[in-house]
Structure 1
């Protein structure tokens, strides 16, 4: 670990391993990755809290996945094949399809994050997610 200083750290539970650093985007709504544009990562779903915003290259924080196994897997796969997948996923209620997709596509995924985490971060904050070390750090601004 380098000598960088972190302002806050939160424990989590590893589902799919890896370590990334990226800005986060928070959704109060469940996400169906099939309803995202694979060429941009932009959420297309009408009525979704993140409609018009891109999930590409971000740590995406949301309650759960939604949609059938085929559309959920294909949506995340299409994003990944176009270089627009999320850098990592923080989910409150993981489902088996989302878990399997993240493992296959090598996207770090965690759950069971310290509840204080959700009260202390906003979209756009830079996070350092270490799924293997089961820790999320908020980077200082």
Structure 2
């Protein structure tokens, strides 16, 4: 199986040694996306709801570049900086992702200052 790098200008390109996404066979892994505006590089929003919405826009842009969508996602991993943000993140997440929801893991970690959420995705596509 060929390993294909997925890249799009519609999601931020980070100054880190990673690809926005990688597809191998039917498996598509989207790197953790942050709440950056892909056009300006600025952080979008100061609340976890605003940032979650932008992060999921970025995830969706990489999925689209691979010919996929949220309905192909089987797992989303959410990284939050503060457990107190869980309810607010859940509301924004539910609105953006829609039912039926993919499987999900949520963990708490430290992100750079001003960043409240990061999300990565695992999708399975038709070959």
Q: Same fold (TM over 0.5)?
A: no
Higher relative contact order, chain-length normalized (CA < 8 Å, sep 6+): 1
From the two aligned structures, give the one with the greater helix fraction. Answer: 2
